[in-house]
């Protein structure tokens, strides 16, 4: 797992992002500092099975505000990557990924709900362009479909 421990150390001591991280503000138990503390103590294995590491929205607010251009999302991303390599990706994340590579979308807009809320029909997703690009990427990596 690649992480800059000097930056992590400073991040652990700082904690300024808690007031703007939507997951910290809304999800009880979501606590990047605890995760970072455990990484620094080389005691992070238990996080690989935790739903917490998948609750980062990757909104990048913590990256944008960070005085050291870091962002505590890096710790969450590193653990998610490691969990995926070990086959510990949660089923709902896998389902979302499968849908994304098949359709270029993470969900279907519900026309009836949009109508009820007075919203216009959703714009086209750009799915065809995405699928073409994704195919080029897969070919370049030798991924078999
Ligand atoms: S990217 Fe940063 S601010 Fe956004 S949810 Fe993840 S940890 Fe919180
Ligand atoms: S990401 Fe930056 S601003 Fe946020 S807690 Fe860590 S060091 Fe502080």
Q: Give the residues of the chain that fall short of pLDDT 70.
A: 144-145
Residue 29: count of CB within 10 angstroms of its CB: 10
Note whether 121 and 114 are within 8 A (CB): yes
22 lines ligand 1 (CB under 6 A): yes
Q: Which domain holds residue 97?
A: 91-141
76 and 35 inside one domain: yes
Q: Which helix or strand (DSSP H or E) is residue 38 part of?
A: helix 32-40
Q: What pLDDT was estimated at residue 89?
A: 95
Looking at residue 99, its pLDDT comes to 87
Q: How many angstroms separate the alpha carbon of residue 11 from the centre of ligand 2?
A: 5
Residue with the smallest CA separation from ligand 2 atom 3 is 66
126 contacts: CB under 8 Å, gap ≥ 6: 104
Looking at the structure, tell me whether residues 108 and 51 fall in a common domain: no
E runs forming strands in the chain:
none
Q: Are residues 28 and 79 in the same domain?
A: yes
pLDDT attached to residue 82: 95
Predicted confidence at residue 138, as pLDDT, reads 87
Distance 143 CA to ligand 1 centre (A): 30
Q: Please tell me the predicted confidence (pLDDT) of residue 143.
A: 75
- Whole-prediction pTM value? 0.81
Distance CA 77, CA 84 (A): 10
Task: Output the six-digit token pair for 43.
Answer: 């005691």
* Domain match, 136 and 66 both: no
Pocket test for ligand 1, best of 23, 71, 80 (most atoms within 8 A of CB): 23
Q: What is the pLDDT of residue 41?
A: 96
From the CA of 128, how far away is ligand 1's center (Å)? 30
């Amino acid at each position: 797992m690649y992480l800059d421990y000097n930056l992590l150390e400073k991040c652990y001591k700082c904690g300024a992002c808690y007031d703007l991280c939507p997951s910290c503000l809304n999800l009880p138990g979501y606590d990047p500092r605890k995760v970072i503390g455990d990484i620094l103590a080389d005691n992070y294995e238990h996080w690989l099975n935790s739903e917490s590491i998948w609750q980062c929205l990757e909104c990048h607010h913590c990256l944008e505000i960070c005085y050291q251009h870091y962002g505590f999302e890096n710790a969450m991303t590193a653990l998610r990557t490691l969990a995926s390599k070990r086959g510990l990706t949660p089923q709902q994340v896998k389902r979302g990924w499968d849908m994304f590579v098949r359709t270029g979308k993470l969900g279907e807009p519900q026309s009836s709900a949009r109508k009820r809320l007075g919203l216009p029909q959703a714009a086209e997703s750009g799915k065809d362009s995405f699928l073409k690009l994704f195919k080029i990427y897969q070919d370049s990596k030798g991924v078999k479909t």
